[in-house]
């Protein structure tokens, strides 16, 4: 009996422009749909661990992280992105905390912070700006 080699699915390693890590599925899909209509390749993940795993594989150009995620929170994911995908720009979003200091953002490797509810057009403009500069 022979065993067939299990090859990785090429789609698993395909990159994307933006990865949204958000546990509120409706919010994630609303934002993803808006960004897709702008011509961006967008994926979503519902928690910090799966988000970080996908970042390591896909190396998105921008990651949008909710601060309050199950498991690894957004700050923990942001800190780890620096080692697994240092070219990925990070936008942190939260409806529960105010903007951390510039020093804290820099320490965690966060390029920008936005409070929820998110204004979609300004967020899209920020994503485009980060795509041009990173």
DSSP for residue 109: T
Confidence at residue 124, expressed as pLDDT on a 0 to 100 scale: 97
Mean pLDDT for the stretch of residues 10-33: 88
CATH number of 14-133: 3.40.50.2300
Average pLDDT score, the chain:
90
Residue 9 has pLDDT above 60, yes or no: no
Count other C-beta atoms under 10 Å from residue 79's C-beta: 15
Confidence at residue 12, expressed as pLDDT on a 0 to 100 scale: 56
Give all strands (DSSP E) within the chain, no chain letters.
18-21, 42-45, 62-66, 89-94, 112-115
Confidence at residue 7, expressed as pLDDT on a 0 to 100 scale: 43
Residue 28 banded pLDDT, cuts 50, 70, 90: very high
Residue 134 banded pLDDT, cuts 50, 70, 90: confident
| CA atoms within 13 Å, Cβ hemisphere of 52 | 19
6 neighbors 32 (Cβ within 8 angstroms):
no
This prediction has a pTM of 0.88
Cis amide leading into 117 (omega within 30): yes
* Bridge partners, 93 (sequence order): 66, 114
Instruction: With CA atoms as reference, report the closest residue to 40 among 21, 15, 57.
Output: 15
Confidence at residue 98, expressed as pLDDT on a 0 to 100 scale: 78
Mean pLDDT for the stretch of residues 31-54: 97
How far is CA 17 from each of CA 55, 60, 62, rounded to the nearest angstrom? 11, 5, 6
């Amino acid at each position: 009996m022979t065993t067939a080699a299990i090859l990785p699915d090429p789609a698993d390693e395909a990159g994307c422009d933006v990865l949204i890590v958000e546990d509120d599925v409706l919010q994630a899909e609303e934002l993803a749909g808006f960004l897709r209509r702008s011509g961006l390749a967008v994926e979503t993940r519902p928690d910090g661990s799966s988000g970080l795993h996908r970042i390591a594989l896909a190396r998105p150009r921008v990651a949008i992280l909710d601060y309050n995620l199950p498991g690894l929170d957004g700050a923990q994911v942001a800190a780890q992105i620096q080692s697994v995908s240092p070219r990925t720009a990070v936008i942190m979003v939260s409806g529960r905390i105010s903007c951390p200091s510039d020093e804290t953002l820099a320490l965690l490797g966060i390029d920008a912070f936005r409070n929820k509810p998110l204004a979609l057009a300004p967020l899209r403009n920020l994503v485009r700006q980060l795509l041009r500069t990173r």
